[in-house]
């Protein structure tokens, strides 16, 4: 096979990547709208100075995003059918950070970019069972009964 034919076959394979999911455009446009709103607030704040700071959320909206560190959350649960990580960094939302199952089916993992600070979290298995992170030897009792793990990000 000539170099050219070989290259065409490899390129064709790489071009056949799966496209985006149906929600991608909606997420992008949502992010664009939020960005537009932030810019409007920023302009408003600059114009009105101190008064703007007293208005809802302006101080927060003007704050520059903190640089992040990527943290991987992972747990071995071959028998589980769904695992999410739930904690201070995602408003304790059960659905926001699903873990992906590894190819061999045993390990679940997700990567999250976190700003510096201390975070509490736990894994939610199959929507009903809470687990502290077995990889983390340190956990604390939650005010709500189950132990939660902690991660400290620089």
Partner 1 sequence: MRSVPIDPSAGPEVTRYLCADRRVTSHVASSDVDLVLQARRGDLDAFAVLVARYRDRFLRYARHMLGSHEDAEEAVQDAFVRVHRALAQCEPERFGAWSYRIVVNRCRTAARRRRWWRLRISGLQQAAEVGIPHPAAGAAWREEIDRAVALLTAEQREAFLLKHVDDLSYHEMSAITGASVAALKMRVSRACGRMRDLLGESV
Partner 2 sequence: MTTRLIGALIVLVVACSARLEAQDPRLRSRLDAVTVRAVDQLTDSARRIGLPTEPLIQKALEGQTKGATGDRIAAAVAALLGDLARARRGLGAGASAEELQAGVLWLRSGGNEAHLAQVHRSAGGRGVAVPVAVAAELLGKGWPPDEATDALGRLFSARLSDAGFLSLRDQVAAAVRDGAGVLPTVRAEVTRLTVNRGLP
Task: List residues near partner 1 by CB under 8 A.
Answer: 1, 3, 6-7, 9-11, 13-15, 17-20, 22, 24-29, 31-33, 35-36, 39, 68, 70, 72, 100, 111, 113
Smallest distance from partner 2 to CB 150, Å = 7
* DSSP type of residue 58: H
Smallest distance from partner 1 to CB 84, Å = 14
Cβ proximity to partner 1: between 72 and 126 the closer is 72
* Nearest-angstrom CA–CA distance, 71 and 66: 15
* Nearest-angstrom CA–CA distance, 114 and 68: 5
Q: Which residues bind partner 2 (CB under 8 A)?
A: 51, 54-57, 86, 88, 91-94, 116-118, 120, 130, 136-138, 140, 142-146, 148, 150, 152, 154
Residue pair 152/136 in contact by the 8 Å Cβ criterion: no
**With CB cut-offs between 5 and 8 Å by kind, which of partner 1, partner 2, none does residue 48 bind?**
none
Question: 114: which 2 tokens?
Answer: 């976190």
Smallest distance from partner 1 to CB 112, Å = 11
Cβ proximity to partner 1: between 72 and 76 the closer is 72
Cβ proximity to partner 1: between 15 and 128 the closer is 15
* Nearest-angstrom CA–CA distance, 93 and 111: 16
Question: 121: which 2 tokens?
Answer: 């979290």
Residue pair 102/108 in contact by the 8 Å Cβ criterion: yes
Q: Which residue has the tokens 């050219």?
A: 4
Cβ proximity to partner 1: between 70 and 91 the closer is 70
Question: 3: which 2 tokens?
Answer: 């170099």
What are the angstrom distances between the C-alpha of 81 and each of 39, 97, 99, 126, 128?
42, 15, 11, 6, 12
Smallest distance from partner 1 to CB 143, Å = 32
């Amino acid at each position: 096979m000539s170099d050219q034919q070989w290259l065409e076959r490899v390129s064709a394979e790489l071009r056949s990547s799966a496209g985006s999911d149906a929600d991608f455009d909606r997420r992008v446009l949502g992010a664009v709208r939020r960005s537009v709103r932030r810019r409007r607030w920023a302009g408003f704040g600059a114009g009105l100075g101190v008064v703007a700071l007293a208005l809802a959320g302006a101080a927060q909206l003007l704050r520059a995003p903190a640089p992040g560190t990527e943290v991987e959350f992972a747990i071995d649960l071959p028998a589980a059918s769904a695992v999410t990580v739930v904690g201070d960094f995602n408003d304790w939302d059960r659905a926001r950070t699903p873990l992906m199952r590894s190819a061999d089916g045993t390990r679940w993992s997700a990567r999250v970019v976190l700003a510096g600070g201390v975070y509490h979290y736990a894994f939610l298995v199959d929507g009903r069972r809470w687990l502290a992170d077995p990889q983390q030897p340190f956990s604390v009792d939650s005010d709500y009964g189950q132990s939660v793990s902690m991660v400290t990000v620089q």
